[in-house]
Amino acid sequence: MTSTPSRKPALAILGKRNLELGPFARDTQQEPGPWAHWRMRTDEDGIVWLLFDKKDTSANTLSEQVLAELNDVLGKLERDVPRGVVIRSVKPSGFIAGADITQFRGVTDSAELEMLLSRGHAVLDRLDRLPTVTVAVIHGYCLGGGLELALACDYRIAVDDASFGFPEVLLGLHPGLGGTVRLPRLINPVAAMTMMLTGRTERTRRARRLRLVDAVMQERHVRAAVRAAVDGDLRRGKQDFVGALLNLRPTRRLLARRMVSEAAKRAPRAHYPAPYALIDLWVEHGGDADAMQQAEIASFAKLLVGDTAQNLVRVFFLRENLKKLAGGDWPGRRVHIVGAGTMGGDIAAWCAWQGLVVTLADTNRNAIGGAIKRAAELYGKIGRDDRRRVRDALDRLIPDLRGDGATNADLVIEAVPENLDLKRKIFAAVEPRMKSGAILATNTSSIPLEALRENLARPQRFVGIHFFNPVSRLQLVEVVSHDRAAPDVLADACAFLGCIDRLPAPVKSAPGFLVNRALTPYLLEALVMLDAGVKKEAIDKAARDFGMPMGPIELADEVGLDVCLHVADTLRGSLHRDMPEAPQWLRDKVAKGELGKKTGKGLYDWEDGRAVKSHEDVAPPADATDRLILPMLDACVTCLREGVVADEAVLDGAMIFATGFAPFRGGPLHYARKRGIAEVRGALERLAAQYGPRFTPDPGWDGLS
């Protein structure tokens, strides 16, 4: 699976890499070979360095052509066997990012795919059997097929910045080039299965403890480590007695029950078959490498041609599309946040974690203190293996009671409550203190920017940057434009989000923008159903059965009932179409301060950050899923018709990465097309006839037919 590493590590790797590969100009000779992606060099010790440099790309990935060339290289090495072979990437960003995902799109013929996979297996098997010592030297990322190639080598030497993982499960797949065979034979099989089932990435030290790599060192010691491996002086990691015991068939069967149970908590079998296919492979064939290999090929091919994998591959490219919208480098380094509440404090914490200097302003000293405390707790979770980074991030997060940070900031983000007059008051106070080239942004979730920009001296430098809660987990951020915003300001806002590892979704100023516009009908319909006596657990179950990460009742509590009510009222007053009014009991809850998770009580009671739910098995009404999901789809079509969002790719990506819209369905509009535009329209018309005009389909459906 490909990935885009951050710029700073790439530059650091480049500097260190040149220390190691630079000597080739002096003490190696390049041997001729008709290869576009591989270069072969022999050093003064008679060791061949096989250098992978995929042509015209910034990252190495495995493709059919790359593997065909590697097969040709291996044939040459078999004819003229060297003392040893080292495989290295010359890309600054890392070793190999996995398979070339573009080759996965639109695959429908599983038999043809099995033949291609068999050829790939034959190449890695040939590497595995090469009659000399083979060493993979790994820096940066080593993922998916890249890790499978490394596992086919005798030794793996990691430079101290490397990371390892099998992210195929995120594409609805499992490893397909021998990883399911080689990894459980090398390390503890439970750890191996956990890596493959979760897609979790392991850093170098953890990989060394797992025996996944044989040595971890700084770049300047790589040559010495390679010579030690070739001479047999480097100890190889191998599976211990406990690992071998865990690979026995009775033990595999016992462990598989727990694995299935854990997988079911995160990925229902009906929606995500890959984890269960992997578990079945290991249980049935874990003791027979040849049988496991053949079964892996067939299983991978079957998964890849299925709807889940094809939709998740689509989601991968939706993410890449949003990444590209971030554009180039953001020139700024300082951010000033006004408002230390949940959103403002968490935005500040995330920006500081990503390397920016952040001043956090609020008139309430306790609010700033609470935000700093939350930041420390977040850093303790996500940076538990990197104490220096935690310390440095906290140093960059600066309390600012007087708001002086606005004068030096490259970007000022207002994140106070959704009150038009309050926000205007903030802008009037902060804009005169800002640098002329700085950007002023609002984190409003629903107020049109045309109303907010009144009285600004530089409205062209004003933009919406709308984060979602929780900031540290939800990658998508809406970049909201208005008709007086300068294009370079919008571009810089997108680049800022790329700098902090977030996905920008450009949208136009409109009530609720895109995400809240689409989410509000979903949440309101859930409240209407609750008001009519449908149990909240049944409503949430209907949404989860569709594939949503949580139900709308629980989501409303997560977001905050006060926020939901404000957005609903704002949209209801702004949109010229039927929308149910929030029930009075919801207003009463908000008035009493029962706001959901943040107060411990809302539609659910909350304990230790979790909703307290009835364990009663409840069945949702037959039409509950359509009542919840179709209004969301209809609002998406409205946004597309009105030009709030430019195209279906941005819309689908935004809804997936902001709301968790069932990823295996490929996005709201992709789902609608798959189900059938006419059928979705007909279902909306039937709901309108039964429940009222709020379900009347938008005219934009006609343009999608």
Task: Identify whether 202 is a catalytic site residue.
Answer: no
- This prediction has a pTM of 0.90
Instruction: Find the mean pLDDT for residues 446-461.
Output: 94
**CA dist., res. 125 & res. 130, Å (int):** 9
Is there a contact between 580 and 694 (Cβ–Cβ < 8 Å)? yes
pLDDT at residue 572, as a whole number: 78
Weakest-pLDDT range from 12-21, 194-203, 240-249: 12-21
Distance from the Cα of residue 407 to its chain's centroid: 34
Task: Identify whether 148 is a catalytic site residue.
Answer: yes
Instruction: Find the mean pLDDT for residues 262-278.
Output: 94
Q: Exactly one of 69, 78, 114, 148 is catalytic; which is it?
A: 148
pLDDT at residue 244, as a whole number: 83
105: helix, coil or strand?
A: coil
Q: Which residue has the higher pLDDT, 223 or 238?
A: 223
- What tokens were used for 167? 């992210």
Q: How confident is the model at residue 575 (pLDDT cuts 50, 70, 90)?
A: confident
pLDDT at residue 164, as a whole number: 97
Environment class of 483 (CB within 10 Å of its CB; exposed 0-12, middle 13-18, buried 19+): exposed
pLDDT at residue 609, as a whole number: 87
**CA dist., res. 665 & res. 298, Å (int):** 23
The percentage of residues in the chain with a pLDDT greater than 90, rounded to a whole number, is: 85
Domain segments of the chain as ranges? 7-305, 334-509, 516-704
Instruction: Find the mean pLDDT for residues 434-439.
Output: 96
Q: Which residues contact 323 (CB under 8 A, 6 or more apart)?
A: 4, 498, 503
pLDDT at residue 383, as a whole number: 87
pLDDT at residue 8, as a whole number: 31
Q: Each residue of 144-164: pLDDT tens digit?
A: 999 999 999 999 999 988 999
Instruction: Find the mean pLDDT for residues 62-66.
Output: 96
Environment class of 28 (CB within 10 Å of its CB; exposed 0-12, middle 13-18, buried 19+): middle
Neighbours of 198 (CB within 10 A): 17
Q: Each residue of 310-345: pLDDT tens digit?
A: 999 999 999 999 999 998 899 999 999 999 999 999
Beta strands in 375-445 (DSSP E): 397-400, 411-414, 439-442
Of 3.30.930.10, 3.90.1580.10, 3.20.20.450, 3.90.226.10, which CATH number belongs to 7-305? 3.90.226.10
Instruction: Find the mean pLDDT for residues 15-22.
Output: 41
Helix residue ranges per DSSP H, 305-364: 307-325, 342-353
The closest alpha carbon to 522, from 496, 562, 550, belongs to 550
Tell me the sheet residues that pair with 155.
135
The closest alpha carbon to 560, from 628, 479, 470, 646, belongs to 470
pLDDT at residue 33, as a whole number: 63
pLDDT at residue 202, as a whole number: 94
Classify the C-alpha dihedral 469-472-475-477 as positive or negative: positive
pLDDT at residue 31, as a whole number: 52
Q: Exactly one of 20, 44, 112, 168 is catalytic; which is it?
A: 168
Residues in the chain: 705
Fold of 516-704: N-(1-d-carboxylethyl)-l-norvaline Dehydrogenase; domain 2 (1.10.1040)
**CA dist., res. 223 & res. 133, Å (int):** 15
**CA dist., res. 336 & res. 414, Å (int):** 9
Q: Each residue of 642-675: pLDDT tens digit?
A: 999 999 999 999 999 999 999 999 999 999 999 9
Weakest-pLDDT range from 97-101, 152-156, 190-194, 701-705: 701-705
Of 3.40.50.1110, 3.40.50.300, 3.40.50.720, 1.20.1370.20, which CATH number belongs to 334-509? 3.40.50.720
**CA dist., res. 565 & res. 560, Å (int):** 9
**CA dist., res. 341 & res. 42, Å (int):** 60
Q: Which residue has the higher pLDDT, 416 or 705?
A: 416
pLDDT at residue 662, as a whole number: 95
Mapped to the 3 state alphabet, what secondary structure does 8-77 carry?
HHHHHHHHHHHHHHCCHHHHCEECCCCCCCEEEEECCCCEEEEEECCCCCCCCCECHHHHHHHHHHHHHH
Neighbours of 391 (CB within 10 A): 12
Q: How confident is the model at residue 241 (pLDDT cuts 50, 70, 90)?
A: confident
Angle between helices 668-675 and 648-659 (to 10 degrees): 110
pLDDT at residue 657, as a whole number: 97
Q: What is the largest CA-CA distance in the chain?
A: 82
